[in-house]
Copies of this chain bind each other. A is one copy, B any other.
């Protein structure tokens, strides 16, 4: 999306379905299907897609094919591909696999959550990430830093705004191009998101702040709108709302890409994404790949609309 383009999108979407979306799926999704998913996503106009994770295959067997996937990935022009790494070893695997444009790192704003997630303290996790930041800089690869549990922690409950602000600033100072504030368990509400974004933006440039919202309590879109009003222009989404919440079995996870795109486009906020292409991709993913009902609302409603139009012919 060149800045000179008069039709440049007003918001950027960071699509996470191939990684964050799939990682909770029990049945292994073939590398071929993952590649097809990624191709459909970029064909819809999405310009940044997180395609893999280089955490230990024993942690997340679903993403164990990261090396192969990245090595055979057919890159689309203008698209930036991201992958998650937990530490230097993951970074080395990523570099050996093939070209990746965005290295995703993650740390929690809550000590207990960080401990449960990566088995070390926040300070230790930052230390582990130091070589990832250094080597990414040397290799000319952008670092995206996920900060999780920013609106609440499943173990500690409330998370201090101050902790989120400090951690975000720290990550930017260490070289992150962008911080993605994750409402991991979806408990955030609009006033809270507005306040949090305002607080982080007082120490981190607003252009570097992304929102990673979960729809567990149905508030992801209301929160996205609050974030937009607060100046955020980068939103993480997942096709069809793919991605469960491990702390609330059966609950929905990431905000659905189609739901966010449709909301924003109707509000006059350009996303640069073809909604119909996304709906096609979701229908394929649900029917041909996963064989289970996905939680996104807009793709379901659009499929219903199409069916109605077909019958009316």
A positions within 8 Å CB-CB of B: 154, 186, 189-192, 215-222, 225, 245, 247-252, 256, 259, 262-263, 266-268, 296-298, 300-301, 303-305, 307-308
A-B contact pairs, 26 of them (CB 8 A): A186-B301, A189-B266, A190-B267, A191-B267, A191-B268, A192-B266, A215-B297, A217-B297, A217-B298, A217-B301, A218-B256, A218-B263, A218-B297, A218-B298, A221-B222, A222-B225, A222-B263, A247-B305, A247-B308, A248-B300, A248-B304, A248-B305, A249-B304, A249-B307, A250-B303, A251-B300
Question: Shortest Cβ distance from A152 into chain B, in angstroms?
Answer: 10
Sample of 9 more A-B contacts, CB < 8 Å, known A218-B218, A248-B301: A186-B301, A190-B225, A190-B267, A215-B297, A217-B259, A217-B262, A217-B263, A217-B297, A249-B304
- Cβ-closest 8 pairs across A and B: A248-B304, A218-B297, A189-B266, A222-B222, A218-B259, A248-B301, A251-B301, A216-B301
Which residues does chain B contribute within 8 Å of A298, judged by CB atoms?
217-218
Interchain CA distance A189-B225 in the complex, whole Å = 11
Closest to A187 in B: B266
B154 touches A308 (CB 8 A): yes
Interchain CA distance A216-B225 in the complex, whole Å = 18
Which residues does chain B contribute within 8 Å of A154, judged by CB atoms?
308
Which residues does chain B contribute within 8 Å of A245, judged by CB atoms?
301, 304
Given the known A-B contacts A248-B304, A304-B250, A307-B249, are A263 and B189 also in contact in the complex, defined by CB atoms under 8 Å?
A: yes
Question: Shortest Cβ distance from A157 into chain B, in angstroms?
Answer: 11
Interchain CA distance A16-B243 in the complex, whole Å = 31
Question: Shortest Cβ distance from A302 into chain B, in angstroms?
Answer: 8
